[in-house]
Amino acid sequence: MGHLNSTDLPETRYGHSGSEPEVRQGKGHAWLWILALAVIVAVGFWYFRDSKGSTEAQSPGAPGAGGAGGRGGRQGMAGFSVPVVVATALKADLPVYFNGLGTVTAFNTVTVRSRVDGQIVKINFSEGQTVQQGDSLIEIDPRPYQVQLEQAEGQLAKDQAQLRDIQVNYDRFQLLFKEGVIPKQQVDTQQAQVGQFEGSIKADQGLIDSAKLQLVYCHITAPITGRVGLRLVDLGNIVHSGDANGLLVITQLQPIAIIFSLPQDQLSQVLSKLHGNQLTVEAYDRDDTTKVATGKLLTIDNQIDTSTGTYKLKSVFNNENNTLFPNQFVNIHLLVDTKRNATTVPAAAIQRGPQGTYVYVAQKDSTARIRPVTIALASGNSVGISQGLEPGDVVVIDGQDKLQDGTRIEARPPAGSAPAQPGQRQNQMQAPGQSAIPGQPSTSPQSPQSPPSQRGRRQ
């Protein structure tokens, strides 16, 4: 038996039997981690590409959406369509209105005042009552003027008696003058006295007529037919002819007038249409949504207001139902012309972009195409087109923000509309709320619009 060397120690054996397997085991774990990471990256890349392709196929605003080729072509092949609301362009008469702001004015306004002094003894009207011309309104105590009448009549009787005496003496003096008994001067003096008493009698008659007129003024009557306002005096008040406020105010409501203003640039066209014609005037409420009354243009003011650049017009309304009231604020629509057989579409169909005005036209292949149009005039919710559309073309009036040229669409009529019958002639323009496609269900009303430069373009 010999001594053991250091190389024969157990640690060396353990090193040969245990260290090398531990190193090989660590390298195997590293390759497993690398392989797992590669699998995760591959799965993530595949998932991202698949989700990106699905999003682009479902996005109507993606480049080429709804068109032939590219993702738009695959989108159309997949059967995806953008729901839109459509209306039909019609040939109709389009009215041309000038709009302005107006104020209702009573055709006649009278402040009733007293023409005599005295105490009110009777009131014959109620506040807010409609009175006729000549109706008794207020009675003032007539007794002081009755006394004046009696005094004037007494003075007249006295002067008439004196005139008869002077007249008899004048006739006697004329006989004596013919016989040469009295001189001519006495005859002339007597004749002058006769003239003085005749003048006194006429003055007395004037006093009598004045007293009678004061008695008439004690009974105040309505000078016009109209509506009585709030009374300004009460029973028993003492009134005077010089009072500033008056007794009551009467306003004539039938007919009634509206004074409104228009820009001076429209004056020549109104004057040309007014000559020999009656222009229709429509009054709308303060919100300009409900028509209140229809009347006629009466006249135009004789000058332009230099501070505002507008001119005033006066219109008259029958106002049978008293729907118009003095000092009421209204919106005025003056009908100045009517464009016959114009191609009309709802105003919601018009889009505006860098290239100008355009519309989306629904094609027979269920796609929407951009078509430039020229607007001739606009009236309310209707727009007259001079170029770009023909009667019968179907245009999109809602959902344009999801469209581009060639997008596939699902056309729907406006909500609450009845389907239009094929071949049926329509005299009025298709408006939102009326059907444009037979047999299609209703959908939502109009939505905000934006030009194609802002719709879903990928930067």
**Which CATH number fits the domain that encloses residue 233?**
2.40.50.100
Identify whether 27 is part of a domain. no
Full residue range of the structural domain in which residue 243 is found:
109-249
Q: Do the strands 280-284 and 291-305 form a parallel or antiparallel pair, or are they unpaired?
A: antiparallel
Identify whether 262 is part of a domain. yes
236 phi and psi angles, rounded to 5 deg: 95, -10
Q: Decide which of 286, 307, 339 is a domain's last residue.
A: 339
- Indicate whether 159 and 262 sit together in one domain: no
pLDDT at 150: 94
The size of the chain, in residues, is 459
Q: In angstroms, what CA-CA distances link 76 with 8, 67, 155, 395? A: 83, 8, 114, 20
- Indicate whether 55 and 149 sit together in one domain: no
- Indicate whether 259 and 296 sit together in one domain: yes
Identify whether 8 is part of a domain. no
- Indicate whether 330 and 284 sit together in one domain: yes
Which residues lie closer than 8 Å to 153 by C-beta, 6 or more apart?
204, 208
Identify whether 5 is part of a domain. no
Is pTM beyond 0.95 here? Answer: no
Q: Provide the greatest CA pair distance for the chain.
A: 221
- Indicate whether 417 and 445 sit together in one domain: yes
**Cis before residue 255, ω within 30 degrees of 0?**
yes
Please say whether the beta carbons of 314 and 256 come within 8 A. Answer: no
pLDDT at 63: 35
Hey, what are 216's tokens? 């008439």
**Beta-sheet strands, E only, within 36-180:** 82-88, 90-106, 109-112, 118-123, 130-131, 136-140
- Indicate whether 327 and 368 sit together in one domain: no
Identify whether 15 is part of a domain. no
Identify whether 326 is part of a domain. yes
Q: Decide which of 298, 324, 339 is a domain's last residue.
A: 339
Rounded Cα distance between 55 and 455, Å, is 16
- Indicate whether 346 and 287 sit together in one domain: no
**Which CATH number fits the domain that encloses residue 447?**
2.40.420.20
Residue type, 72: G
Query: Per residue in 326-344, is it b (16+ CB within 10 Å) or e — as a string?
Result: bebebbbbbbbbebeebbb
SS3 content of the chain, % helix, strand, coil (to 5): 35, 30, 35
Rounded Cα distance between 103 and 328, Å, is 6
Q: Do the strands 367-372 and 374-379 form a parallel or antiparallel pair, or are they unpaired?
A: unpaired
- Indicate whether 155 and 115 sit together in one domain: yes
Per-residue pLDDT of the chain (459 residues; tens, 9 = 90+): 444 444 444 444 444 444 444 444 555 567 778 888 888 887 777 766 655 544 444 444 333 333 333 334 334 434 578 999 999 999 988 888 899 999 999 999 999 999 999 999 999 999 999 999 999 999 999 999 999 999 999 999 999 999 998 889 888 888 888 888 888 888 888 889 889 989 999 999 999 999 999 999 999 999 999 999 998 999 999 999 989 889 999 999 999 999 999 999 999 889 988 887 889 999 999 998 899 999 999 999 999 999 999 999 999 999 998 999 999 999 999 999 888 888 999 999 999 988 899 999 999 999 999 999 999 888 778 899 988 999 999 999 998 898 989 999 998 887 755 443 333 333 333 333 333 333 333 333 333 333 333 333 333
- At 192 the three-state DSSP class reads helix
pLDDT at 203: 94
The total domain count for the chain is 4
Looking up tokens 């003095």, which residue turns up? 326
pLDDT at 70: 38
> If you compute the radius of gyration of the chain from its CA atoms, what whole number of angstroms results?
50
Identify whether 194 is part of a domain. yes
- Indicate whether 335 and 396 sit together in one domain: no
Rounded Cα distance between 233 and 127, Å, is 12
Identify whether 421 is part of a domain. yes
